[in-house]
C-alpha cells in the first residue's frame, strides 16, 4: 500500500532552518502532485507547498513564498521541504501528501512531523 513517511521535524529557534523529508513508497508517483500541509494547535490544516512529480513545477502558499522550497528526488522517491527563516507562527505538525488532482486535497497522507519554532 502507499506509504508517506515524514522526517526532519524538531525544535529550533526563530530564524533557523529545517529540512523535512517525505519518503514515498507503494506505487509510482508519476503524474502526481506531492507536497505539504501543516496544522497548528487549534487551527485548521492548511496548504504549504506542492510539486508536480513529472515536471518539478512548484506552487506555494503566500506564507511559504520566499522562505520555503519544495523539491523532489525522483531516484529516491522523496519529497523535501526546505524551510528557512523560520518564525514561531510556523509551529505546526507538517504532513506530506500526494494527489493526482491539481485541487490537491490529499489522496494519501503521512503521519506528520512536529516542527516547533521558539522565539
pLDDT band per the 50, 70, 90 thresholds, residue 35: very high
pLDDT band at 103 (very low <50, low <70, confident <90, very high): confident
**SS percent in the chain: helix, strand, coil, step 5:** 5, 50, 45
Q: What is the pLDDT of residue 4?
A: 97
Tens digits of per-residue pLDDT, 40-98?
999 999 999 999 999 999 999 999 999 999 999 999 999 999 999 999 999 999 999 99
* pLDDT tens digits for range 5-26: 999 999 999 999 999 999 999 9
CA distance 35 to 70: 7
The secondary structure of 50-84 as a DSSP string is EEETTT--EEE-TTTTTTEEEEEETTTTEEEEEE-
- Cell numbers of 54, please? 513529472
Q: Are 39 and 84 in contact (CB under 8 A)?
A: no
Higher pLDDT, 27 or 118: 118
Residue 105 confidence (pLDDT):
86
pLDDT value at position 28?
Answer: 87
State residue 106's pLDDT score. 85
To the nearest 10°, report the CA torsion of 82, 86, 91, 92.
Answer: -20
The pLDDT value given to residue 10:
97
Residue written as grid cell 502558499: 61
Amino acid at each position: 500500500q502507499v506509504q508517506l513517511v515524514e522526517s526532519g521535524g524538531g525544535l529550533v529557534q526563530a530564524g533557523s532552518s529545517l529540512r523535512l523529508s517525505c519518503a514515498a513508497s507503494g506505487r509510482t508517483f508519476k503524474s502526481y502532485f506531492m507536497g505539504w500541509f501543516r496544522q497548528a494547535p487549534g487551527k485548521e490544516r492548511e496548504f504549504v507547498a506542492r510539486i508536480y512529480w513529472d515536471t518539478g513545477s512548484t506552487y506555494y502558499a503566500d506564507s511559504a513564498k520566499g522562505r520555503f522550497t519544495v523539491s523532489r528526488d525522483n531516484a529516491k522517491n522523496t519529497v523535501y521541504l526546505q524551510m528557512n527563516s523560520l518564525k514561531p507562527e510556523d509551529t505546526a505538525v507538517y504532513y506530506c501528501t500526494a494527489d493526482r488532482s491539481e485541487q490537491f486535497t490529499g489522496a494519501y497522507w503521512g503521519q506528520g512531523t512536529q516542527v516547533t519554532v521558539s522565539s
